[in-house]
Amino acid sequence: MTTPITEDDLYRTSTQHRLWTFTPTTLAARRTQTHTAALARLPLRPNHSNPQPFTQTDSLALLRRYTSQLHTTATHLSLPGPLTATACQYLARFYLTYSPLTYPPRQIYKTCLWLACKVHGTHLGLNDFLRRIGSEGEKDVVLAAEFLVLGGLGWVVEVKGPGQGLKGWLVEAVGLAEEGELEGLGMPGEGARTVWKGEGAAGGRVRAAYAAAKGVLERPALLTDVWFLFSPAQMVFAGLMVADGVLAGFCLERKLGPLDVEVSERVLEAVRACAEMLAGFDEGEVLGREGREEVEARLEMWRDPGTRDLVGRFGAGKAAGGQGEEAEERRKEMKKEAREKSRREGDELFGPGLARKG
């Protein structure tokens, strides 16, 4: 008998799972390796008296600050949640490959958002995109970093998130409520993020839990490491645990019922650990303006001088014929030639046309 393939099986074959899933130990080691490699490429100490070093803690704080800025920018543009999540993950993944010492986040985060817009099929031109966020003069910077970001992502642009899974839970849980399966459940408990306080039908409780979990997954989850440590399904139930632990626990037990006890315990342990990270997120830990300026001043003293002029490096690519107006014109000519060739081949599919006589 053939064993059916589950969604979990499919996820474990994905590039996201293979390339961007870690344990806390391996994630910390990857960040240390990236930071150490960036330091090794730097020249001798900067020409300042007793400069304070730019640490790995500074890198993480700056990354969180610009992830928050990216999220705020996407909200300002009224972009959908999955697109915002994709952009934030591009930024987080990029800084597992490169250090802010090499490429500061202020040069990268807008490119991550612009790239996510294209991947999600948002019909927003670059000029309009920059105009709406008040960055009309940064077109060259955004374009200069695009190829770099793609390389830092390992050319993996698909991001699998918890959004669809949470919507699926909503449909299923509403069905349980309509069938009376949720009657008799206890109250959400102290600290639950749901606004439901016991009034109304069970369907209202489900929708309130969904709204609260959606809020948790759309911001706190993006500013913590849960995307690197847990699967989308685990994040779904972790968000629900934060929203309404009693309801989430009931639904999760139904899901885990057919599984082996040991497997169920491992899943529950992972979901609880993820929920603890989400619930423990503190918005006050995100750097404010003064804190960001202080860290960036330190970064400027230490950063790699060879990568300071990102647009200049992009210009070097133009000189080599890889970018710029001339290269763009050549690409247009090549596309035109390809279209004409395709048309001719189509016209002559059954042989050349018959010549007219007289």
Q: What is the pLDDT of residues 216-259, one digit of tens each?
A: 999 999 999 999 999 999 999 999 999 999 999 999 988 887 77
CATH number of 163-282: 1.10.472
Domain ranges in the chain?
Answer: 9-42+50-159, 163-282
**Which own/partner contact pairs does 274-277 have at CB distance under 8 Å and 24+ positions apart?**
274/226, 274/229, 274/230, 274/234, 274/235, 274/238, 275/237, 275/238, 275/239, 275/241, 275/242, 275/245, 277/224, 277/225, 277/226, 277/229, 277/238
Return d(Cα 195, Cα 343) in angstroms, integer.
Answer: 61
Query: What confidence score (pLDDT) does residue 338 get?
Result: 56
Query: What confidence score (pLDDT) does residue 333 get?
Result: 58
Q: What is the pLDDT along the chain (358 residues), one digit of tens a residue?
A: 566 666 677 787 888 888 899 999 999 999 999 999 998 888 765 555 556 889 999 999 999 999 999 999 999 999 999 999 999 999 999 999 999 999 999 999 999 999 999 999 988 889 999 999 988 888 888 998 998 999 999 998 999 999 999 999 999 999 999 888 888 888 888 888 999 887 878 889 999 999 999 999 999 999 999 999 999 999 999 999 999 999 999 999 888 877 778 888 898 999 999 999 999 999 999 999 999 999 999 998 888 888 888 888 765 444 444 444 444 554 455 556 556 655 654 554 445 555 555 4
Domains 9-42+50-159 and 163-282 share a fold: yes
Domain 9-42+50-159 has CATH 1.10.472.10: yes
Query: What confidence score (pLDDT) does residue 2 get?
Result: 65
